[in-house]
């Protein structure tokens, strides 16, 4: 069949066989598949859905679109974590160095922002000099010496996901179970892992809006991942409220560094998620006997500075100068602020009520950051890393009328770029007159 014939077959709701899926994915490399073909096929896959067999074929074809990493020398120690995407979701950034500080190996092939959800790679690129695209040799060196690296797909490593990911981001084809599963697991299958944590988010700013939809996706992810031979554990977690206090690119690196320094005032919410997921990987690789021991071991890497040191070594291994890396782990806030710059204009979110914070709308805040240049609307958009939101309070905290609860760092043209910016900021906060329970992030686990 020709490429248009394959698209027509899927459009008409028929099942593509493994050879046909392989032909389509292979066509990306040979350029027989053009952007218009890819957009149409993704939409057909999105609308008609994919059988389990099709999803497995798509995942393995994408995995095999490039080379695969191999770690015979580190067998039993190679782990990773991947999230379906959220607002303020910077878990991977402190987690990878923390795991490396516990002697695990973390070859983390990560993603860019999709829709309003931020991307780990975009955040890391706000560090001057940070290179996300590494050669196989550079990855092997980084994992062998430092123990962790956070990098992108490349022309050699899963080029099919690299290509399809950018097309999905701008063709309204992100929220398809089949496309999410193949995208995530093809990256993880390239990494030659022993254990994997998948964090499947539900809520207003997540791809899956309800816990039931997230659970359904988590079950499929779990099944395909185990079928690929990866010991997998899935968390289904809440994504109505932002994770931690910061949303944006440079600002989330600042917050990740604060956790790795175990600075007072760092986000407990973020710390608990990182310790839980890291602790679980320590348990899955038999580094500890209980999840409690695992959580404490991760926490200890923040308290004793070993995760911060690994972060320092990792970013140098990925192109950052020794001077900048040293400055970022120093205690000099003004130097850190001059490297990870935030926008000059500060808008405040002010509460109109007295009471307790019931919720903070992560969808609206994520949209503000995206529209002001922190995320993409076209695949060629260049990001403005300096856009960010800092929450001064979180869910459950008491608040007074007229008290500020958030600061938006933006450029001078913010209200022209996104006229709803101030309205969205103000209406993101919901205050209750009675006390509010702390956030329960973890809804369910599968593993």
Q: Is 114 in the site for ligand URA (CB under 6 A)?
A: yes
Interacting residue with ligand URA among 27, 85, 88, 242 (CB under 6 A)? 85
Do 248 and 387 contact (CB within 8 A), yes or no? yes
Alpha-carbon distances, residue 373 vs 118, 381, 384, 418, 420 (angstroms): 12, 8, 5, 10, 14
263 in catalytic set: no
**Binders in 182-211 for ligand URA, by CB under 6 A:** 183-184, 187
Separation CA 245–CA 373 (nearest Å)? 19
Q: Is 294 in the site for ligand URA (CB under 6 A)?
A: no
Segment near ligand URA (CB under 6 A); pick from 46-54, 127-135, 176-184, 373-381: 176-184
According to DSSP, the β-strands at 231-238 and 388-391 are unpaired
In this chain, which residue has its C-beta nearest to ligand URA?
A: 183
Interacting residue with ligand URA among 180, 190, 391, 407 (CB under 6 A)? 180
DSSP class of residue 357? E
Segment near ligand URA (CB under 6 A); pick from 53-61, 181-189, 308-316, 437-445: 181-189
183 in catalytic set: yes
Q: Is 118 in the site for ligand URA (CB under 6 A)?
A: no
Report in angstroms how near the CB of residue 48 gets to ligand URA at its nearest: 18
The DSSP annotation for 75-110 comes to TT-BEEEEES--SS--THHHHHHHHHHTT-BEEEE-
Residue among 37, 162, 168, 310 flagged as catalytic: 168
Report in angstroms how near the CB of residue 110 gets to ligand URA at its nearest: 8
DSSP class of residue 74? G
Interacting residue with ligand URA among 39, 107, 111, 373 (CB under 6 A)? 111
Interacting residue with ligand URA among 23, 84, 267, 362 (CB under 6 A)? 84
Q: How far is CA 278 from the centre of its chain?
A: 15
Separation CA 202–CA 185 (nearest Å)? 19
306 in catalytic set: no
Written as six digits, the tokens of 226 are 């185990």
The DSSP annotation for 199-266 comes to EEEESTTSSB-SHHHHHHHHHHHHHHHHHTT-EEEEEEEE-SS-SSSEEESHHHHHHHHHHHTT-TT-
Which CB sits closer to ligand URA, 207 or 298?
A: 207
Report in angstroms how near the CB of residue 114 gets to ligand URA at its nearest: 6
Closest CA to 351 of 392, 298, 299, 410: 392
Which CB sits closer to ligand URA, 179 or 395?
A: 179
68 in catalytic set: no
Report in angstroms how near the CB of residue 195 gets to ligand URA at its nearest: 18
Q: Which residues contact 398 (CB under 8 A, 6 or more apart)?
A: 355, 356, 357
Residue among 10, 63, 81, 82 flagged as catalytic: 82
Which CB sits closer to ligand URA, 168 or 310?
A: 168
48 in catalytic set: no
Residues near ligand URA, by CB under 6 A: 84-85, 111, 114, 179-180, 183-184, 187
- Residues marked active site are found at 82, 161, 168, 183, 187
């Amino acid at each position: 069949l020709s490429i248009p014939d394959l698209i027509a077959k899927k459009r008409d709701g028929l099942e593509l066989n493994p050879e046909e899926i392989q032909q389509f994915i292979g066509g990306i490399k040979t350029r027989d598949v053009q952007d218009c073909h890819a957009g149409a096929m993704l939409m057909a896959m999105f609308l008609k859905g994919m059988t389990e067999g099709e999803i497995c074929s798509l995942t393995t074809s994408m995995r095999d679109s490039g080379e695969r990493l191999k770690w015979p020398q580190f067998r039993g120690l190679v782990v990773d974590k991947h999230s379906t995407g959220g607002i303020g979701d910077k878990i991977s950034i402190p987690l990878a160095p923390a795991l490396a500080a516990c002697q695990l190996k973390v070859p983390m092939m990560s993603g860019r922002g999709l829709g309003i959800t931020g991307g780990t790679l975009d955040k890391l690129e706000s560090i001057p000099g940070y290179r996300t695209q590494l050669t196989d040799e550079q990855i092997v060196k980084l994992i062998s010496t430092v123990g962790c690296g956070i990098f992108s797909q490349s022309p050699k490593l899963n080029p099919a996901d690299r290509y399809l990911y950018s097309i999905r981001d701008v063709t309204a084809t992100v929220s398809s179970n089949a496309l999410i599963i193949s995208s995530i697991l093809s990256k993880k299958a390239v990494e030659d892992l022993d254990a994997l944590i998948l964090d499947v988010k539900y809520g207003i700013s997540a791809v899956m809006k309800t816990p039931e939809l997230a659970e359904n996706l988590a079950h499929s992810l779990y099944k395909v991942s185990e079928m690929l031979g990866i010991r997998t554990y899935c968390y289904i977690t809440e994504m109505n409220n932002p994770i931690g206090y910061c949303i944006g690119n440079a600002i989330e690196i600042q917050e990740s560094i604060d956790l790795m320094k175990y600075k007072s005032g760092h986000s407990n919410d973020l710390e608990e998620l990182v310790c839980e997921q890291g602790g679980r990987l320590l348990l899955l690789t038999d580094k500890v006997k209980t999840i409690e021991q695992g959580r404490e071991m991760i926490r200890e890497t923040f308290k004793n500075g070993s995760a911060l040191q690994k972060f320092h070594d990792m970013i140098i291994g990925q192109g950052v100068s020794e001077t900048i890396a040293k400055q970022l782990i120093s205690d000099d806030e003004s130097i850190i602020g001059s490297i990870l710059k935030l926008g000059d204009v500060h808008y405040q979110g002010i509460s109109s009520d007295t009471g307790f914070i019931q919720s903070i709308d992560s969808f609206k805040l994520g949209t503000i950051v995206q529209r002001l240049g922190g995320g993409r609307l076209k695949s060629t958009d260049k990001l403005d890393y300096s856009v960010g939101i800092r929450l001064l309070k979180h869910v459950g905290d008491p608040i007074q009328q007229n008290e500020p609860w958030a600061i938006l760092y933006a450029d001078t043209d913010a209200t022209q770029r996104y006229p709803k910016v101030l309205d969205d900021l103000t209406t993101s906060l919901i205050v209750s007159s009675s006390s509010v329970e702390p956030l329960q992030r973890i809804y369910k686990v599968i593993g």
